[in-house]
Amino acid sequence: WNDSLFRLFRACCVVASRLLLCMFLFRVAFTSLAADPSVVNLGQGFPDIPPPSYVKEALAKAVSVDRMNQYTRGFGHPPLVKALSQVYGHVYGRPIDPFKEVLVTVGGYGSLFSTMQGLVEEGDEVIIIEPFFDCYVPMVRMAGAKPVFIPLRLKSGKKSITSADWYLDPDELSSKFTSKTKAIIINTPNNPIGKILTRDELQMIADLCIKHDTLCFSDEVYEWLIYRGQQHVKIATLPGMWERTITIGSAGKTFSVTGWKLGWSIGPQHLIRHLQTVMQNTLYTCPTPLQEAVAQGLMLNMELIGQPECYFTSLAEELEGKRDRMAAIVQEAGMTPVIPEGGYFMLVDVSALNQDLSDMKTDDDDDEAYDYKFVKWMIKKKKLAAIPVTAFVSDQSTKDFEKYIRLCFIKVNKTLLLWLH
Amino acid sequence: MGILNHLAAQLALIRKISIRNHQTTMSRRIHARRTEGVDKNVWVEFTQLAAEYKAVNLGQGFPDFSPPQFITEAFCKAVSGGPPMHQYTRAFGHPALVQSLAKFFSRIVGHDIDPFEDILVTVGAYQALFCAFQALIDEGDEVIIVEPFFDCYQPMVVMAGGKAVYVPLRPKEGTAVLSSGDWVLSAEELASKITPHTKAIVINTPNNPLGKVYKREELQMIADLCIKHDLLCFSDEVYEWLTYDGAKHVKIASLPGMWERTVTIGSGGKTFSATGWKVGWAMGSGHILKYMKTIHQNSIYHCATAAQEAVAQGFEREHELFGTPQSYFQQLPAMLHHRREKLASSLKGVGLQPIMPEGGYFMITDISSIAVDFKDSDTKDENYDFRFVKWLIKEKGLATIPVSAFYSPEHSKEFDKYIRFCFVKENSTLDAAEEILKKWSQNESSH
């Protein structure tokens, strides 16, 4: 885990031993830096576009119904788990039991936590593909297990780069599986690169999971944000994978309401029931009116699947335009964008600028990664916030990723244009 | 070609075998050991049963009347309040909420509470409890739990690797036990449970299920022991606004020497009769709260924004109206006082002995005077009150909760003749319950 992070954000806690291995996420510190209102924030991953009005209306309506303001079923509000069962039953092409094969959680984040706490423990190893959503490592550690990293590698010799140019080396991946491997975490579309794992890549991962009898935790929160020409494949639909996969989704990312913090885990009963045990001993139930509103949003869009108004596809179309606009702006500024196949983040290679960052050196760390220094410079001098990509990788991969920063493009056009000026 | 066909057939066979093998369960243990022994849950079981039999539900603790209009309006206003209301807010608590909580509670606790250091907002008080146990209890630590206790404390201690040590509240000897105030904690018994491994003591006041509101002297006794033995105190005060008959809620954190070692837990759901919003908080000295924040950010990270904004508005209103008749914190206990009386008289009317709660949502009743023939052999190994409650749901259509669920395994058989009713219900619900009780007692007397 990144040494410079320890030094930058020394928030190590020693009270309970499990806390020795957790630490404040860099985002907490960068959030305050970027909170200056004169800074254009393309860092943290949340929309500043409004959510669809029907979900907001559904929420306001729910609050006016007495029963909707009180506790609902712990493992998921019945209308919501039924809606999830319908939508995903259609997507997976198999029946999904709403009460036994679905768990509603506090965001995709909460699903990740329930999965780790329910299925991972001391002595286990968990394979994590770099770059990774930064919470995977502290969660694996908090569960007492050891993270094992494998980086996505860049195909060489290409001029204009897309997220598809990163690949997993089959032999390297295979070498990471040991008798202690409990699970592999995959994230597709990937945050921060935006790579969508192909069917072949997923099959390769599946073959290894089956061969080594491991679980697969598939973080698919950006599943609907797939751009033209791409296809999102669910690893749980590959032969032999349903029984060993937890698939994670997010209402926040699906409906552009990250502040609702609702997500879900879908999988076979013999796995989900352990996540349910964690749920009933951690927060017991999620907010009712929010679940009711998401249920309605899902059912509405279920009817619209295949039509242009369906939010599952219309949001991706809207974002593709923003993606391309941002790529153009980045290029004009002399940097190299990595065009993402999915998700709402874009990696930007800043090395062409050859920016002198000598006055960004901090007192306590000469070895601070380039991207950290660059982002601080950019916030200070250019009033633009981004996230350094080495925050998403382990120490051994820092040098491969320190020329990249991550920008978020699910922003209103005004925000994107502000930066241009 | 023959070789290729042969190889293809082999591969197909290998794939078939491997698919067949893992279509059953994985060959190794799948679940993490921390989930063992904490998988049973009384709420899941009884909520399902009550729904199945469409029972009049005085079981789980939630109001069946609406939250006050000012709070639902605040929520609707938040919902229409522009994009930031629907996106992530500050992870440790929406600024408007932590600021209004700090302002409101500083004057009650008598300590200047820093909104950003001393408060953590959580998904209900339940998650605040989880963060406290995970952050502060380690393998081998002992945690003293006062019985009867809200049932989640025990599995949370277990999940944190700690050991629960129990001290029961006991009915005072020699007097008729008519009120929750007649159940007391023995100072000697409590002191005898403290060992060098004791890390914390958990108290709940007003208490669920008994309704006891700890007096200042009782809290002082506990505080003295905490200070003497350098213990932490987790004080679950979700029902803090619901006290009756002039009983005063006292915050143990306000006693000398206690702010530094107490985590006080509160609930927006119980405060504003909106349990489904799941907005709670932990309050305490920053040097303790920071550990809970680490757990929070590695488990949930953010809580829903709009609900926090609404609760913040609720506290702003209550801050203005504090102590006046328009304050919801005056009106709600006044209304529930009558509901409490109503339920008590229904129970007494059929020969049951309720214990009048000084605070909270619940009333427990001694059922030992009733003889029931449980024809249900499935439940014969369960505690008497569990069997009674199931029978009451199935045969009479009335849902309650067995009180031994709030006791440790070692003491549950001593306290298995009580059931718990929630009286935070519409009059019509209480009337329906009264009808069932009357009919039942008429049937009994006609035999």
Burial class (CB in 10 A: 0-12, 13-18, 19+), B426: middle
Confidence of residue A365 (pLDDT cuts 50, 70, 90): low
Determine phi and psi for B243, rounding to 5 degrees: -125, 150
- DSSP codes of every residue in B12-70: HHHHHHHHHHHHS--SS--S-GGGTT----HHHHHHHHHHHTT-EE-SSS--SSPPPHH
Angstrom distance (rounded) from CA A394 to CA A396: 6
For A41-50, A269-278, B343-352, which range has the lowest pLDDT when averaged over its residues? Answer: A41-50
Question: What's the token pair of residue B423?
Answer: 């009286």
Confidence of residue B417 (pLDDT cuts 50, 70, 90): very high
Question: What's the token pair of residue A226?
Answer: 């797939």
Helix axes A413-420, A311-332, angle to 10 degrees: 0
Query: A287: Cβ–Cβ under 8 A, 6 or more apart, which residues?
Result: A262, B123, B276, B277, B278, B304, B307
Above 60 in pLDDT, residue B26? yes
Q: Which of A59, A63, A136, A141 is best to mutate for the B interface (most B CBs within 10 A)?
A: A63
Nearest CA-CA partner of B278 in B101, B46, B91, B122: B122
Q: Which residue has the tokens 């990696």?
A: A347
Helices (H), B230-353: 268-271, 286-297, 305-321, 328-349
Q: CB-based contact (8 Å) between A353 and chain B?
A: no
Share of chain A above pLDDT 90, in %: 77
Query: B107: Cβ–Cβ under 8 A, 6 or more apart, which residues?
Result: none
Which chain A residue lies closest to B94 (C-alpha atoms)?
A259
Mind listing the pLDDT tens digit for each residue in A184-206? 999 999 999 999 999 999 999 99
Query: For strand B362-366 and strand B163-168, is the pairing parallel, antiparallel, or unpaired?
Result: unpaired
The sign of the dihedral angle between the CA atoms of A52, A55, A56, A61 is positive
Q: CB-based contact (8 Å) between B156 and chain A?
A: yes
Contacting residues of B for A71, CB less than 8 Å apart: 60, 62, 275-276
Above 70 in pLDDT, residue A234? yes
Above 80 in pLDDT, residue B163? yes
Find the mean pLDDT for residues B279-288. Answer: 98
pLDDT of residue B151: 93
Give, in order, the Cα–Cα distances in Å from B294 to each of A11, A135, B29. Answer: 9, 12, 29
Report the phi/psi class of residue A194: left, alpha or beta, with left for phi > 0 and alpha for psi in -120 to 50: left
For A171-180, A350-359, B50-59, which range has the lowest pLDDT when averaged over its residues? Answer: A350-359
Mind listing the pLDDT tens digit for each residue in B77-128? 999 998 899 999 999 999 999 999 999 999 999 999 999 999 999 999 999 9
Confidence of residue B433 (pLDDT cuts 50, 70, 90): very high
Find the mean pLDDT for residues A20-49. Answer: 70
Task: Give the rounded distance of the alpha carbon of A71 from its chain centre.
Answer: 29
Above 80 in pLDDT, residue B302? yes
Q: Are A275 and A115 in contact (CB under 8 A)?
A: yes
* Nearest residue, CB atoms, A70 vs list B44, B130, B275: B275
Confidence of residue A8 (pLDDT cuts 50, 70, 90): very low
Q: What is the DSSP letter of A51?
A: P
Q: CB-based contact (8 Å) between A268 and chain B?
A: no
pLDDT of residue B131: 97
Confidence of residue A388 (pLDDT cuts 50, 70, 90): very high
Above 70 in pLDDT, residue B58? yes
pLDDT of residue B24: 43
**Measured between CA atoms, how close is B17 to chain A, in angstroms?**
11
Find the mean pLDDT for residues B12-28. Answer: 52
Determine phi and psi for A245, rounding to 5 degrees: -120, 135
Count contacts between A and B (CB, < 8 Å): 229
pLDDT of residue A3: 37
ipTM for this model:
0.91
Confidence of residue B271 (pLDDT cuts 50, 70, 90): very high
Angstrom distance (rounded) from CA B11 to CA B15: 6
- The listed range with the strongest mean pLDDT (A77-81, A332-336, A378-382) is A77-81
Query: A61: Cβ–Cβ under 8 A, 6 or more apart, which residues?
Result: A293
pLDDT of residue A40: 86
Angstrom distance (rounded) from CA B381 to CA B388: 12
Q: What is the mean pLDDT of chain A?
A: 90
Give, in order, the Cα–Cα distances in Å from A331 to each of A43, A349, A400. Answer: 18, 10, 21
Query: A379: Cβ–Cβ under 8 A, 6 or more apart, which residues?
Result: A33, A34, A36, A39, A385
**Measured between CA atoms, how close is B169 to chain A, in angstroms?**
25
Between positions 51 and 90 of B, the ones with CB within 8 A of A are 60, 62-67, 72, 75-76, 79-80, 82-89
Query: A32: Cβ–Cβ under 8 A, 6 or more apart, which residues?
Result: none
Mind listing the pLDDT tens digit for each residue in B34-46? 999 888 888 888 9
The answer to whether the Cβ–Cβ distance between B62 and A71 falls below 8 Å is: yes
Above 70 in pLDDT, residue A153? yes
Angstrom distance (rounded) from CA A9 to CA A306: 47
Give, in order, the Cα–Cα distances in Å from A328 to each of A68, A402, B47. Answer: 46, 22, 56
Query: Could you tell me the pTM of the whole model?
Result: 0.92
Above 60 in pLDDT, residue A242? yes
Query: A298: Cβ–Cβ under 8 A, 6 or more apart, which residues?
Result: A80, A83, A84, A86, A87
Above 80 in pLDDT, residue A169? yes
Query: For strand B262-267 and strand A404-408, is the pairing parallel, antiparallel, or unpaired?
Result: unpaired
Q: Which residue has the tokens 């983040």?
A: A345
* Nearest residue, CB atoms, A213 vs list B28, B82, B134: B28
Find the mean pLDDT for residues A363-371. Answer: 75
Question: What's the token pair of residue B161?
Answer: 């690797």
The answer to whether the Cβ–Cβ distance between A283 and B126 falls below 8 Å is: yes
Helices (H), B350-383: none
pLDDT of residue B66: 94
Find the mean pLDDT for residues A318-334. Answer: 93
pLDDT of residue B374: 81
